[in-house]
Amino acid sequence: MHTLHVELGERSYPIYIGRDLLADGALLAPHISGRQVALISNETVAPLYSEAVRAALPPLDLITEIVLPDGEQFKTLQTLELIFDRLLEEGHNRSTTLIALGGGVVGDMVGFAAATYQRGVNFLQIPTTLLSQVDSSVGGKTGVNHTLGKNMIGAFYQPQAVLIDTDTLHTLPERELAAGLAEVIKYGLISDEPFYRWLHEHMPALLAREEASLAEAIERSCVNKAEVVAADEREGGVRAILNFGHTFGHAIETDQGYGNWLHGEAVAAGLSIATRLSSQLGRVPESEVLALEALLLRCGLPVRAPESMSVEQFMELMGRDKKVIDGALRLVLLDAIGQAVVRADTPLADIAKVLAHSQR
């Protein structure tokens, strides 16, 4: 097992990465301070892993299992109410600990429930998708979607610990593994060129779910994310680089309806568009755009926006994104592979041009 730390002063926490961690009661116990736990998962993940986590819990007065419907379309305030109803009905108090067992949808919702239930209770993240292991479980962004925009309602709220059991990836559908790889590739692009080159070399092993390579990719992704979060917890500055490709990706997700394109798939198309834009602006050679596209395609990920989306629709949706500040679209671009920058001065004509290319 490897342990990393997200350094945030009194809100610091460990990330444990290893095999068979779900069943490790000694890891969980120190992060459960009260006598109550709510283990929250969804109808796909609960049958696979809830029992193992439940068996690993220390002796408690109250354990409530909550099984949510599965899907991005259920990442809503209505689903949150299901959680609050059960917590209140069963008498969970302010010393309860919520455990999020599942992918990013469960993690984001349980994190937000923890941030707001009785003005804040402890929570643990046990992410079970590659995407949630390398991204959503780390850094404290929590929340739900609104019909007018993704993740529009939420809070920054850090967990007590993140427990990444790499064995859970063996039951993950191939499409979900690929979606997680998009975020892994993102870290290489924005802040870690050696890792990016390593990914090109090790992609066959990752796609074959070779244990050592997966663990390495997860650890290096988490190291990169933890460093950025420690420098800028609430996204006042550098944390925005984690959204590389996401402004385009979110527009795709909103246009297509949550859950039709997976988040990681939309991000993959977004990475490709944002890297091409960086190249168009003379920051990155065209050969890097082609190499990235080849890498994404090898994972079975999209590199273009959906044909049905017009440039106008894109611009309108991106205008609604949280990254619009005072009328300017803040975009993350690459100055080089492994070096992202946030710019608010990209001419809209250039953005339209790269989007038009993506429609071809």
Nearest position to ligand GLY, beta carbon: 242
Please state the closest distance from residue 176 (CB atom) to ligand GLY, in A.
17
Q: Based on the shown chain and the rule CB under 6 A, indicate whether residue 103 belongs to the binding site for ligand NAD.
A: yes
Pair of tokens at residue 322: 């949280």
Please state the closest distance from residue 356 (CB atom) to ligand NAD, in A.
27
- What residues numbered 133-172 form the site for ligand GLY, per CB under 6 A? 135, 139, 141
The whole-angstrom separation of Cα 55 and Cα 4 is 25
Q: Based on the shown chain and the rule CB under 6 A, indicate whether residue 129 belongs to the binding site for ligand NAD.
A: yes
> Taking contact as CB under 6 A, which single stretch among the options 135-143, 184-192, 295-303, 340-348 is the one that binds ligand NAD?
135-143
By a kind-dependent CB cut-off of 5 to 8 A, residue 168 interacts, out of ligand NAD, ligand GLY, none, with ligand NAD
353 marked among binding-site residues: no
Of 96 and 136, nearer to ligand NAD (C-beta) is 136
Please state the closest distance from residue 318 (CB atom) to ligand NAD, in A.
16
Backbone φ and ψ for 285, nearest 5 degrees, come out as -65, 150
By a kind-dependent CB cut-off of 5 to 8 A, residue 239 interacts, out of ligand NAD, ligand GLY, none, with ligand GLY
Binding mask 164-203 for ligand NAD (x = CB under 6 A): ----x--xx---x--x------------------------
* 3-class DSSP string for 24-55: CHHHHHHHCCCCEEEEEEECCCHHHHHHHHHH
Of 22, 39, 97, 102, the one binding ligand NAD by CB under 6 A: 102
State the Cα torsion 163-169-172-174 to the nearest 10°: 130
Pair of tokens at residue 102: 């599942």
170 marked among binding-site residues: yes
The whole-angstrom separation of Cα 53 and Cα 41 is 11
The whole-angstrom separation of Cα 353 and Cα 360 is 11
Q: What angle do helix axes 104-116 and 77-89 make, rounded to 10 degrees? A: 60
97: helix, strand or coil: strand
Of 141 and 220, nearer to ligand GLY (C-beta) is 141
The whole-angstrom separation of Cα 313 and Cα 309 is 6
Instruction: Write the DSSP assignment of 280-298 as a string of letters.
Output: HTTSS-HHHHHHHHHHHHH
255 marked among binding-site residues: no
Strand partners, 6: 13
149 marked among binding-site residues: no
- What residues numbered 229-268 form the site for ligand GLY, per CB under 6 A? 239, 242-243
Backbone φ and ψ for 160, nearest 5 degrees, come out as -80, -30
State the Cα torsion 87-88-91-95 to the nearest 10°: 60
Binding mask 101-140 for ligand GLY (x = CB under 6 A): ----------------------------------x---x-
Catalytic residues: 119, 141, 183, 225, 235, 239, 243, 246, 250, 263
By a kind-dependent CB cut-off of 5 to 8 A, residue 272 interacts, out of ligand NAD, ligand GLY, none, with none
Please state the closest distance from residue 55 (CB atom) to ligand GLY, in A.
31
Cβ neighbours of residue 290 closer than 8 Å, sequence gap 6 or more: none
Instruction: Write the DSSP assignment of 112-172 as a string of letters.
Output: HHHHHGGG--EEEEEE-SHHIIIIITSS-EEEEEETTEEEEEEEE---SEEEEEGGGGGGS
Question: In the complex, which residues of this chain contact ligand NAD (CB under 6 A)?
Answer: 42, 44-45, 48, 70, 72, 75, 102-106, 108, 128-129, 131-132, 135-136, 139, 141, 151, 168, 171-172, 176, 179, 263-264
| Binding-site residue set for Zn(2+) | 183, 246, 263
Question: In the complex, which residues of this chain contact ligand GLY (CB under 6 A)?
Answer: 135, 139, 141, 239, 242-243
| Binding-site residue set | 70-75, 104-108, 128-129, 141, 150, 168-171, 183, 246, 263
